[in-house]
Chains A and B, each alone.
Chain A
Amino acid sequence: MEELRINELSIRTWNFLDVNDVRKEIANEYVKVNYEIDNKELDYENMGVNLQVDEIEYASWIDELEIGCGENIKRVLKDSNIPFDVFKVKEKKIQEPLKINLNYEDSIKGLLSRTIFELDKDSSLVVIRKHSGNCKKAIEDIRFNISENSMLTIVEIFDFDNDSDFVGSISGEVSANAEFKLMQVCMGSGKITIGSCINLKGNGSKLNVDSGYLLKDDDELDIKYIARHRGRYSNSKINVSGVLRDKAKKSFAGTIDFIKGSKNSVGDEREDVLLMDEGVFNNTTPIILCEEEDVEGAHGASIGKISDEAIFYFKTRGVSEEDINEIMAKSRLEAVISRIPDEKTKNELLKV
């Protein structure tokens, strides 16, 4: 198997910290992941979601995108010869979320899913992708292009079995006054690497990232979110919140990049990490890059254990320390889940 450096930091720093990239073993060969569209009784075609599979003529933007997990993985994706599933929405606001369930089964070869979302102007679509099963080597490659005044929301639920090893890359462009919302919830097991690079190319374009994780045992999570502000008045907000238990390891790097020309843009990133056991390991790297004067950028991070005040509060109400940990751990994830724009999905997850 080949080892690649992926999820590279947008600006390198000291090597002793070991945050500049992630070393991943890549499978020699990949096959397509099986998926099914949930609620397929709904006629998406009639609703305006045009699904094409297999060979199509790709627009140049697809290859020119900056890949979420980095350029090294681009070659692997291209060489895989796995075609994209392309979902197109033409000037329509789709009310019902498109629900895609990806079930990973143990396989000698790597598993790969490739999806394109293309929204014409004045469209909207919510996509909910649930990942479950056991994947020894799986990659997800999502690319999108959102035209003017459109909105794409992608919700991803990662609920893998033990020993899973998954890489998820999301890359896309957002045009004038359009918006991309990303919600990612990591609640399963295994080693997950997520990289997302969003190009806010249009004036007034927006990015909203809302992610949560609950890691335990020897789970590992590496997240990189990059917001490239190019358009004027572009806006990005990145919020990540999570819990580390047992010997879990997590590395988060968010980059807000104000490129020249992105006047009047605003970027904000926050991470809030709750550490619950001695053996945990956390890296937090909130980066701001700026070559434009008339912008506002801010980032904040808060890392620590449950406050003594919170523990005291619960204990005085008869809650045991063990239960306090459970409540606090779940509440972080539930806060993110409660914002998923689909009641059914929300309720299913909250029951778990």
Chain B
Amino acid sequence: MNEIVEKDEGKEVVKEKTYVEDIDRSIYDFKIKDMDVFKVDEGLTEDIVRQISREKNDPEWMAELRLKSLGIYNHIKLPDWGPSIDGLDMDNIVTYVKPKDNKMSGSWDEVPDDIKYTFERLGIPQAERESLAGVGAQYDSELVYHNVKDEVLKQGVIYTDIESALYGPYKDMIKERFMKLIPPTDHKFAALHGAVWSGGSFVYVPKGVKVEIPLQSYFRLNAPGAGQFEHTLIIVDEGADVHFIEGCSAPKYNVANLHAGAVELYVGKNARLRYSTIENWSKNMYNLNTKRAIVEEGGVMEWVSGSFGSHTSFLYPMTILKGNDSRMEFTGITFAGEGQNLDTGLKVVHLGERTVSSVNTKSISKSGGINTFRSAVVIGEKAKGAKSAVDCASLMLDDISRSDTVPVMQVKCDDVDIGHEAKIGRISDEAIFYLMSRGISEEDARAMIVSGFADNVSKELPLEYAIEMNNLIRLEMIGSIG
């Protein structure tokens, strides 16, 4: 029984607190002995960047980009807003770890045992068999497995590791777009990414092709004190349609790990891309990821984002609605528990006419967790007829946690329709009463309400992932007042 007895204007009042169990991390918190074959020194120097470039066998333009990015990194300051990242010391981060026996395989049988064991425990091969059109699995700094189902290949879909694609028939397509949406000058960790990126996937969906089943990339960071800097580049050509799912996890160590990946998404005319992420990094992870999409005329970009892990997160997927009649939908949930400071949200820039953005986010704060929802809706001068609706709700489960909402709407055009609503509070006693008066126990009533609160994301995911997400949030409601 979780009772709080308070004095309320002289009278003792027994108040129930909603108890929400912490996310169960045991399925992710296992470690494999770090038996890398190659690891650069800790820290960030020109020598280290050159080493990585040689190891990756970069084309010349990529090697130059890395060095240019390093120069930018050394000059840009850290942001003067957001959570503190004082606990992150780049001098102690290893930016490249090549796993033992690394060679990317198209069959799980060829993946080294301990790595295969890792992904089996995480359920990746099973998910691939049951519900995915293709999978990319990254372990530390390298992709260890990549496979695409035949029927998808026959449609002309390309889903491959990005490094080999730099030399293949799509090399020009990649060169034209690589770090153009997220230039190294964007911020310090974009520059860091440009200097030391490794791993990640390239996806191309040809004109008019609809990929019925999702593609997935899974990122596992096993080495302590290491960084993961994968780069994902997706191009969805005119009229095409694809759902891409990204998952990630790492075991918890006492030293900091860093994730500074980049995701660049190009959504063509009348195309649709759904990008789903279940982020479950360990609580020593600094998650400074950058994701950006540009959408052409009539295109649709859908973000589904579940953030449950990390010690500190800066995560704001950005969408540029460039073409007329382009649209964005964003559905997200963030769960901040003990020791976590999760600064998440989104940015959307309306440039084209009649562009539409719709945002629905939820956050839960407990056990001292800190949640910040940060957003920017920017309407350009020429975005006549633009519409945007943002709805964010925050649930505070105790008075040792924190939840802040910092939305900005910047409008430079008169012919628009912009709305924003936000709420913060605890579970309503009236809602509990309503359900109980219909014969539902208080415990079930609380469970229903909190499940419903988190439902906005799970219903957007394929069933298997919705189940996984709901497993991440196991809810335990305490009994009724006597």
Contact = CB atoms under 8 A, between A and B. Distances in A.
Interface of A: 11-15, 17, 19-20, 244, 258, 260, 263, 273, 275-278, 280-305
A244 B412 CA distance: 11
A301 B423 contact: no
B410 A283 contact: yes
Contact of A301 (B399, B404, B419): B419
Given A276-B414, A302-B418, A303-B418, A290 B81 contact: no
A254 B34 CA distance: 50
Contacts, number: 139
Given A17-B376, A17-B410, A303-B409, A12 B424 contact: no
Most buried by A among B401, B411, B412: B411
Interface stretch (B85-93, B99-107, B275-283, B390-398): B390-398
Contacts of B415: 275, 305
Given A293-B398, A301-B419, A305-B415, A285 B407 contact: yes
A304 B416 contact: yes
Nearest to B398: A293
A296 B424 contact: yes
A281 B422 contact: no
B109 interface: no
A80 to B, nearest CB: 30
A248 to B, nearest CB: 11
A246 to B, nearest CB: 11
B243 interface: no
B74 to A, nearest CB: 20
A12 B418 contact: no
Contacts of A273: 411
Given A294-B399, A297-B425, A278 B404 contact: no
B122 to A, nearest CB: 34
6 contacts: A13-B406, A15-B81, A280-B411, A283-B409, A287-B407, A303-B411
B212 interface: no
Interface of B: 79-82, 347, 374, 376, 378, 381, 394, 396-399, 401-426
A258 B420 CA distance: 20
A189 B344 CA distance: 39
A298 B423 contact: yes
A13 B407 CA distance: 9
A305 B425 contact: no
B80 A290 contact: no
Most buried by A among B406, B418, B420: B406
A268 to B, nearest CB: 10
Contacts of A294: 399, 426
B416 A293 contact: no
B399 A293 contact: yes
B410 to A, nearest CB: 5
B326 to A, nearest CB: 19
A315 B222 CA distance: 68
Contact of B411 (A282, A288, A299): A282
A5 to B, nearest CB: 12
B394 A290 contact: yes
Which 5 A-B residue pairings sit nearest by Cβ, starting from the closest? A12-B81, A275-B414, A303-B418, A293-B399, A297-B424
A15 B410 contact: no
B421 A280 contact: no
Given A295-B424, A302-B419, A303-B416, A285 B396 contact: no
Contact of A260 (B81, B381, B399, B421): B399
A275 B410 CA distance: 12
A286 B399 contact: no
Contact of A11 (B398, B401, B406, B418): B406
A277 B414 contact: yes
Nearest to B378: A17
Given A282-B410, A294-B426, 14 more contacts: A14-B408, A17-B410, A260-B399, A263-B399, A273-B411, A275-B413, A276-B414, A280-B412, A290-B394, A291-B402, A296-B424, A301-B409, A302-B420, A303-B411
B418 A301 contact: yes
A286 B414 contact: no
B406 A296 contact: no
Contacts of B408: 13-14, 17, 19, 283-285
Contacts of A290: 394, 396, 402-404, 424
A58 to B, nearest CB: 34
B95 to A, nearest CB: 26
Contacts of A276: 414
A11 B399 CA distance: 20
A263 B15 CA distance: 13
A11 B404 contact: yes
Most buried by A among B79, B396, B410: B410
A280 B376 contact: no
B69 to A, nearest CB: 20
A309 B407 CA distance: 29
A135 B410 CA distance: 29
Most buried by B among A294, A296, A298, A300: A294
A278 B394 contact: no
A168 to B, nearest CB: 23
Contact of A304 (B417, B423, B425): B417
B80 A15 contact: yes
A284 B409 contact: yes
Contacts of A287: 404-407
Contacts of A285: 406-409
B418 A13 contact: no
A304 B420 contact: no
Contacts of B421: 298-300
